[in-house]
Amino acid sequence: MNVLGIFLFIMCIIAPWGLEQLVYSRYVGNPDAVQHRKTAKVVRGYGVAYTWDAAHFLVLVAAGFRFIGSQQPLSIWEWIGYLLFPLGVAIRIWALRELGVYYDAQVSVQPQHAVITSGPYHIMRHPLHFGTTTQILGLAFLAPIWLGLPAALSAIVLTLYIDRFEDLVLLREIGPTYERYYVRTWDIVDMVVRKRPPTLTPAANQTSEEK
């Protein structure tokens, strides 16, 4: 039995992931959060985001096999992945704490929608998505290439798509408040594609108080 592998997998993969799920459940089940979601206008359901869940689960299981089923020491690339995973967990926990009752897994716009600008949101748009992708990339380094590569690519492509979609929705629905936020922050999309100037439609002339 690979006792060290079991210990490392539990302490640095399962334990951080479990902590994130605990924080996640706290905000999802919060009565105030539930009430906020009831009054929100849903623009797009969870839908394609299940791809994140599938990729995350598959590489998580693969990482378990790598730690527990192999006696070989981790390579440099596997150590990089090993460190990326808890980094992604930390980013998501930080972002969840800042969002609080405003968290919604769907793309939605709430009445008097607030633009969160504290914590990671001060410099980064969509840090929750960035944290999820960082986790999947980290675990992908620990998975066989035939599994890790498709999982990593699907996570990156999905993040690029959803982040761009949410930016366009919030620019349209919130208007100048989100436009100012968009201009001064960065996102994974900006790292891959040249940052486009925000374009507002006439319907986006309403404003919202920043939180």
The predicted pLDDT at position 32 comes to 65
Q: Report helix angle 145-174 to 127-140, nearest 10.
A: 170
Asked if residue 135 has pLDDT above 90, the reply is yes
Asked if residue 148 has pLDDT above 70, the reply is yes
Which of 4-8, 39-43, 113-117, 124-128 is the most confident on average?
A: 124-128
Asked if residue 101 has pLDDT above 80, the reply is no
Q: Which residues pair with 65 in a beta bridge?
A: none
**pLDDT per position as a tens digit, 16-35:** 999 998 988 887 766 666 56
Total residue count of the chain as it appears in this document: 211
Q: Which segments within the chain are labelled E, that is strand? A: 41-44, 107-109
Instruction: Tell if the pTM clears 0.95, that is, is over it.
Output: no
Rounded mean pLDDT of 65-74? 86
Contact between 181 and 117 under an 8 Å Cβ cutoff? The reply is yes
The predicted pLDDT at position 82 comes to 86
Asked if residue 61 has pLDDT above 90, the reply is yes
| Residue 44 DSSP code | E
Residue that has been written with the tokens 């985001």 in this structure:
49
The predicted pLDDT at position 204 comes to 38
The 3-state DSSP class for residue 42 equals strand
Percent of the chain with pLDDT over 90: 37
Scored b (16 or more CB within 10 A) or e, 116-126 reads bbebbbeebbb
Both tokens of residue 116? 């969160």
Burial of 190 per CB tally in 10 Å (0-12, 13-18, 19+):
middle
Confidence class of residue 207 from pLDDT cuts 50, 70 and 90?
very low
Asked if residue 113 has pLDDT above 90, the reply is no
Both tokens of residue 103? 């968290």
| Residue 193 DSSP code | S
Confidence class of residue 147 from pLDDT cuts 50, 70 and 90?
very high
